[in-house]
Chains A and B, each alone.
Chain A
Amino acid sequence: MNLTIDIIISGLINGSTYALLAIGFSLIFGVARIVNIAHTAFYMLAAYCIYVVTQKMGLNSVWAMLAAIVLVTLLGMITYKFLINPIREHESAVLIATIALAIIFQEILLNVFTGTYLSVPALIDGYFTILGVKVFYQQLLTFCAALLIMGLLWALLGKTRMGLAIRSTAQDREVANLMGINEARVAMMTMGISVGLAALTGAVVVPLTIVEPHMWLSPLIMMMAVVVLGGLGSLKGSFIGAYILGFAEALVVFLAPMGAFLKGSVALTVMILVLLLRPEGLFGVYFEEER
């Protein structure tokens, strides 16, 4: 029984993290066809930003979160403007540029903070017990924040004019442009939202993880698996795919022997099995081939 609750909690937390990351990644891919490998590097930057503000400057965690989100979003938009936008037409060049960007962030952090493992205190201390299992308030908070953010994003995309512009650009760039939507500005905004989501994820998840300069790699792989599983560009797919893989990972960690080593393998195998049955992912639509 305890094991079941452990699995559920761990699955929900993992799933929410992956969902937040994958939605941001999926959004910018859908709108601007940018595969942003540096997405989780922005997540890492937010985590470090919070570490600096709370531990080095001694300010409150709430300020730290705000600062992290604003700064990282700005940085994301600047890099989009000066690095990604000029080479957007070359798909492979964008891939390499974002990989290089992620490596640059990693190296800068490695030089500034060295490779030591850092940690950040929880926003709220303490825990409560359900059926004899400790649930930390921070875990509950992370989960609730993730749900809240996803709700807000859904409202933004579904109910506002800007959301409409983003969705129509994602469906067809040229027609959206003909309808009077400033495509370049929408792409810029989407990049901001996407990086902002990554920063937010970093901000709510950071107390539960270890902060170190290579922390971007493992969520990157899981995030990509989620996005491919759910279908590229589909937000609903990313959401559901994230929980599928989050629970798959939790089940393996708690049930299989040597699970910690195999968790990535099993989650990725799940992804490949689904792709064999549905090559476009669970909820993906094949984009009209752009010839």
Chain B
Amino acid sequence: MWRYLIRRLVQAVPVLLGITVISFLIINSAPGDPALLYMDRSSNPTQEDIDRVRHELGLDKPLPLRYLDWLGRAVRGDFGQSFADKRPVITKIAEAAPYSLKLALLSILLGYTMAVLLGVLAAVRANTWVDHLISSLSALFVSAPIFWVALMAILLISVKWKLLPTSGWSTYGDGSLLDVAKHLILPTIILALRDIAGLSRYVRSGLLETLNADFVRTARAKGLGSKVVIYKHALRNALIPVVTVIGLSLPALVGGAVVTEKVFALPGMGRLAVDAVAGRDYPTIIAINLLLSVLVVFGNILADLMYSWVDPRIKFS
């Protein structure tokens, strides 16, 4: 297993390098001079000032050299200064990341638990109204724009019925666990909706398939109760495809977080990214891009490891 892990990690390196090359190329193909974005416009910079800043930022070097420079600093955790407020990019990310991580973990937890529960329910009650309801709802939430659902939820649940806060991470001056929890209920659910809707379908079809499989029939024939069959034998096998999908759903989670954090005014990475894009804050954009990719790549490796845990038949090779 360790050899497998090491091989996967080694394989991840070219993928991550590829990602940095692509994002670097996209950012640097942008029209306009980054030096001008970096500088304070109101100080009426002369051409000389601009040249000086270009030199300081290394913009006078050829693109491949700039990339290597950037990469060299990036591996040491130095992503340069934000164009927007001249603070180190890594500081800004360190401030924002905890919010996003907590939200993402909560919503993964909620999403996957609910997905398995609903999926099992739908499979066990296949082709009944319960199944149809779950299927229709999940189809609806997979296809509805997430920001739209979020806005409706705020308007109804927070403003109209006054059940939960409208936005933000916590009430200023409170910040107790209960207060934060209240603030996070809606964003967590909204962010988890896609996973719930998408994954529960996988669980359902996977479970239906295994319930028809030979070994389950054998178990039933041996006289095992249907609950035992479902939970002990069939579910374990049905979860295998789900685990592979978890890895693939991470980028979508990141994308959902961008929108969710914006709608709910949460100060996380998604919000940082949207602001960075709006303000053409290139060092921040490229750093976030890289970090999120790293997260996804490792998420995938983790998913593969879990794959072996749920399915002992799989050997690392």
> Do A and B associate with each other?
no
